[in-house]
Amino acid sequence: MRDQLGPEHLHSVLDAALAVGGVDEVEARAVHAWGGLARFARNAIHQHVATDDTCVSVRVVVDGRVGVASTNDATPSGAMAAAVRARAAARLSPPDPTYAGLAGPAPLPVVGGRFDERTAAASPARRAEAVARLLARLRPGQEAAGAISTGATEVALVTTSGARLHALATSATAATVVMGGGASGHGEDSAVGLDHLDPAAVGARAAETAAAAVDPGAVDPGHYQVVLLPSAVATLLEHLAPAFSAKAVAEGRSPFSDGLGQACVSPLLHLADDPLGDGAFGVPFDGEGTPRRGVPLLAEGAARGVVHDRASARAAGTESTGHGLPAPNPFGPMPTHLAMAPGRSRVEELVGGIEHGLLVTRFWYTRDVNPKRTLITGMTRDGTFRIEDGRRGPPVRNLRYNQSILDALDGCDGVGDVVRSSSDEGSAIRCPALRLRSFAFSSASDH
């Protein structure tokens, strides 16, 4: 069992960095992370992993020059040594014209239920029990691989401008790929606490998909009406997220650089960065110590907002929305709690609205092609099916796609009623299934 270090201990470590001489401003941040996971393959756990690490990062400012240094020596002397190295780096750096000052004292938003004691103290045995529940839903001849993970994070931050923050958060994730008969199916879910996960349901969804995907048939590339299940939708949203960065907008790299408010997606879609709502993860302040707040991104068919850190907010003459990443940060602000509102349709009803099309479980190996056009490419994976006469039909081989995300979302005419948390490629996005009128598949796979 691992324990939190507590605000008094972490603040005493960070205060040492604030005492470094010969600088104008100092920010010190500590992240204590602990947890573990149980990896399984071929229906058996093959690895238990445990982590417990604390990193201290110090940013100093000297005559408008910024330096950053970090250490795993989470002691007052370690923090001071990092501050000295950061001071040396600052003195050797050119002035930073984008520097916007450090966070000062500000009230944090009230968020409840972000830290679950039982999850923070979860043992390998508890994670193994969750694996067993997942594996119990497999069908004869199927094998599963994946992981059950639990983690806790404790973040503290202090600045010479008066910020003094501390918060805790936990998360738990179940993810699996089930294989059998030459086919595969995928399932995943995430929650603040392990007790809020249903590993059996995750295993059952993946097992059912794998069983239905055996012996896929050939399919011609082309434009299809599609139903994308939540994991596939999450991939689209993950790659759309940078378009809402105020830095990308200001630098002309975003499709919204020419202005917000223009029609770009279906009016059925409502997307926000929602770090404070139910189902969100993490602490209530960003990597710069600014309180987080929700930002509407897509509504009424148009882009309605962008996210700011301290630098982009200063350049735009506004306030940070609490979307700053820890220094050093060349990327600018980023939405990290994407949440799409559910609709009223069951997946079966979404499928029922298509005469000929495809049902996609998830995407894989997705890469950006043209961020300003939101053009991406990737593959389908772990269960792709024909839709025939409003019903899920036989499985088909995987397809490569080349598609503009905004163009695809502009053709949305149905939104699922169930929101799932997806951890595709490390993100945590809450979204439902979508029905899209057109999606471009450029080539077919041989499997």
How large is the angle between the packed helices 7-18 and 76-91, nearest 10 degrees? 40
Among 252, 275, 255, residue whose Cα is nearest residue 265: 255
**Same domain for 231 and 157:** no
Domain membership of residue 186 (yes or no) is: no
**Same domain for 235 and 115:** no
Residue 81 and residue 58: Cα distance in Å, rounded? Answer: 10
Domain membership of residue 200 (yes or no) is: no
Domain membership of residue 143 (yes or no) is: no
Give pLDDT tens digits along the chain (447 positions): 468 999 999 999 999 999 999 999 999 999 999 999 999 999 999 999 999 999 999 999 999 999 999 999 999 999 999 999 999 999 999 999 999 999 999 999 989 889 999 999 999 999 999 999 999 999 999 999 999 999 999 999 999 999 999 999 999 999 999 999 999 999 999 999 999 999 999 999 999 999 999 999 999 999 999 999 999 999 999 999 999 999 999 999 999 999 999 999 999 999 999 999 988 999 999 999 999 999 999 999 999 999 999 999 999 999 999 999 999 999 999 999 999 999 999 999 999 999 999 999 999 999 999 999 999 999 999 999 999 999 999 999 999 999 999 999 999 999 999 999 875 444 579 999 999 999 999 999 877
Domain membership of residue 435 (yes or no) is: yes
- The position carrying tokens 């984008």 is 98
Residue 150 and residue 140: Cα distance in Å, rounded? Answer: 29
Beta strands in 229-294 (DSSP E): 271-273
Domain count, the chain: 2
**Same domain for 352 and 444:** yes
Among 215, 211, 207, 139, residue whose Cα is nearest residue 177: 207
**Same domain for 250 and 167:** no
How large is the angle between the packed helices 199-212 and 124-135, nearest 10 degrees? 40
Residue 169 and residue 116: Cα distance in Å, rounded? Answer: 8
Cβ-count burial 76-114 (b if 16+ within 10 Å, e if not): bebbbbbbbbbbebbeeeeeeeebbebbeeeebeebeeb
Residue 188 and residue 147: Cα distance in Å, rounded? Answer: 10
Among 318, 370, 382, 255, residue whose Cα is nearest residue 100: 318
Domain membership of residue 179 (yes or no) is: no
Contacts of 332 (CB under 8 A, 6+ apart): 245, 246, 247, 248, 309, 311, 312
Can you give the pLDDT at residue 425? 45
**Same domain for 245 and 167:** no
Chain centroid, CA 144 distance in Å: 24
Domain membership of residue 399 (yes or no) is: yes
For 245, the domain range is 216-447
Complete DSSP assignment for 82-107:
HHHHHHHHHHTSPP-TT--------P
**Same domain for 362 and 226:** yes
**Same domain for 232 and 125:** no
Domain membership of residue 201 (yes or no) is: no
HSE-CB for 60 with a 13 A CA cutoff = 28
| Amino acid identity for residue 215 in this structure | D
Helix spans in 67-175 (H): 76-91, 117-120, 124-135
**Same domain for 262 and 331:** yes
Can you give the pLDDT at residue 74? 97
Domain membership of residue 403 (yes or no) is: yes
Q: Is the backbone peptide bond immediately before 95 cis, with ω within 30 degrees of 0?
A: no
**Same domain for 429 and 295:** yes
Which residues on neighbouring strands pair with residue 172, listed in sequence order? 150, 191
Entry pTM = 0.95
Residue 197 and residue 208: Cα distance in Å, rounded? Answer: 19
Can you give the pLDDT at residue 240? 97
Can you give the pLDDT at residue 222? 97
Q: Which CATH number do you get for residue 114?
A: 3.30.2290.10
| Amino acid identity for residue 164 in this structure | R
**Same domain for 295 and 241:** yes
**Same domain for 167 and 237:** no
**Same domain for 390 and 244:** yes
